[in-house]
Structure 1
């Protein structure tokens, strides 16, 4: 269940949707017609977010978690019971009466046990996330939950609480008792002993010739140098268990996010390097670069450039590479009074997560642009903006800036110089603004 609560304004907006049966601050009930429509569209290959948006729902109001949970629930119900599974049967259900009514003392004891278990879990989260950058969602394995339950029971001398605490922790009671059985304990000991032997061999391969390696290199080194064949999954499991990490060539977390959400979409390359179409406002190029300045500080610059005139028409600087870096640049383009969008205008970028994100693509459509993307790993497909970044880093006094405000002023000054005073041979020896005016007069 989503933790997002609706405001009065959001309730009024949602109530106007014909697919909404009822809505309150805590939840929303959809009509059976919408559920059937959702299943039909989903089987055609559409994403849940896309179906909700086409049906008039604002996903930012609903929250993406509520959309995902609803779609998953309806799909499971449809697979099990067909169309009948989509019917709201809450009014028909009479409920199941409690066999044993709990006394006030029993309720208090259960609440106290639950609070103590939550405290233990919080302590575990703090230890697990110590030293990490950012906030990460921690998923506690079942074995760790069994240990937490037992430690809470022993610490607070609780009786007859195993079943209740297992329900609270979403683990089975039989699994709890099996985990602490003598047979299971002996099996874990034998496994740990084998893992320690394997760990020593893996570390030898990991540090072989003084160069740290990843799991695949370790596997080949073990076979080639130590005549020992290990399964790749086993190597990775032991490396994870004993915190053995290769510091080079780590997986890109943003690509992992894209695969997890399955909402990021790559669009075709409509531009095909036809940058100079001699129509101002027809071809817009965008990209993000990083700028290193004084005392090892780093900032990120998002820019939109007119491909026909070479003019920089929007830019946004930030010390964080968030989604707003790309969307704020589009908003600044919208506010630029000197910019006039041509017919069938398009905005071209690489396949970065900022540009494949649904929010960015939605804003592009709202502004009336078509969207185009470079081929994967091909910087030449967006060469003019890469050229601008090269000139910026060579000609602007970036490294002397002491803080973000100074850097912002320097970037603004250089952009003004680039647009109004920097002559370019490929623009008939004019500045970008002069060449823009020249094209407008000739049209």
Structure 2
């Protein structure tokens, strides 16, 4: 008699008969049933712990218990509080250390604040946000420019350079398709208010929007992404003393992971790419 089969059968009829009656029908002692049940539950717990451990390792400890629970629920029923307890007990908590950045750049010819913190979009490439952040490593500084689609949080364009100048943001902008009814929001950095950038934006038929001065919350989604990028790569993996080539490869790998693999609660625990494809 297989213990797992017995346990499953007894649990299925618990509302109709008692454990004693079920054991009598099967010809086993109650003590044997409870010993088997304890053993089976231990095996289930150990299997769950190992699944949680592998998920945490696979995602480099970037996920907290909520996202780990969401992934685990794809395979089995589980409670988020139980997952949280296991992660705490096993030392599997999220190891991301969040960092904040300071706003840079001086406004020259700012555009109107059209986005007005309406961060929801009904379709891809309808509302985009962009910004620049630094990539810290060693004694040198690299700058990262990216454009995020508010429809699904996907990074649709990005560039890395050793200077924070207009050519950096133009290279990022030129990766976008030319189309109308596209809103692109940025802060009032000098690279965005420059005549060259404004002309390129208009040339693509894009409408420009800019945050109010000294109000980083007006561009919160891209600020949040840049913080996540650095927290889940440079700070998490301790990549503070490395080479330019490794930094660039780290960013490329992370963008692929972020767009195609990393789930987001606001996307029903799907990755940005999966969300866009399923909605198409």
Q: Please tell me the TM-score bracket, short chain as reference.
A: 0.5 to 0.7
Q: Confirm or deny: 8 A CA contact 2:186 2:209 kept in the other structure.
A: yes
The whole-number CA distance in structure 1 between the counterparts of 2:223 and 2:234 is: 18
Deviation at 1:400, TM superposition (A): 4.7
Q: Which residue of 2 aligns with 1:278?
A: 122
Point out the structure with max Rg over C-alpha. 1
Q: Which residue of 1 aligns with 2:110?
A: 266
**Which one of 367, 371, 374 corresponds to residue 211 of structure 2?**
374
The whole-number CA distance in structure 2 between the counterparts of 1:253 and 1:410 is: 24
Q: 1:328 to 1:385 in 2, by over 3 A?
A: same
Higher relative helix content: 1
**Which one of 322, 326, 329 corresponds to residue 172 of structure 2?**
329
Aligned residues: 175
The whole-number CA distance in structure 2 between the counterparts of 1:321 and 1:309 is: 27
Q: 1:278 to 1:401 in 2, by over 3 A?
A: farther
Q: 1:412 to 1:380 in 2, by over 3 A?
A: same
Q: Confirm or deny: 8 A CA contact 1:269 1:374 kept in the other structure.
A: yes
Q: Confirm or deny: 8 A CA contact 2:136 2:240 kept in the other structure.
A: no
Secondary structure of 2:181's aligned partner: coil
The whole-number CA distance in structure 2 between the counterparts of 1:306 and 1:253 is: 22
Q: 1:253 to 1:291 in 2, by over 3 A?
A: closer
Q: How does 1:135-214 map to 2 (within 5 A)?
A: none
In structure 1, list runs of 5 or more residues that go unmatched: 1-251, 259-263, 335-339
Q: Which residue of 2 aligns with 1:414?
A: 254
Secondary structure of 1:281's aligned partner: coil
Q: Confirm or deny: 8 A CA contact 1:278 1:309 kept in the other structure.
A: no
Q: Which residue of 1 aligns with 2:194?
A: 357
Higher relative strand content: 2
Q: How does 1:398-413 map to 2 (within 5 A)?
A: 399-400=239-240, 402-413=242-253
TM-score, normalised to structure 2's length?
Answer: 0.59
Greater RCO (CA < 8 Å, at least 6 residues apart): 2
Q: Which residue of 2 aligns with 1:384?
A: 221
Deviation at 1:406, TM superposition (A): 1.4
The whole-number CA distance in structure 1 between the counterparts of 2:228 and 2:278 is: 24
CA root-mean-square deviation: 2.0
Q: 1:322 to 1:439 in 2, by over 3 A?
A: same
TM-score, normalised to structure 1's length?
Answer: 0.38
The whole-number CA distance in structure 1 between the counterparts of 2:104 and 2:276 is: 41
In structure 2, list runs of 5 or more residues that go unmatched: 1-102
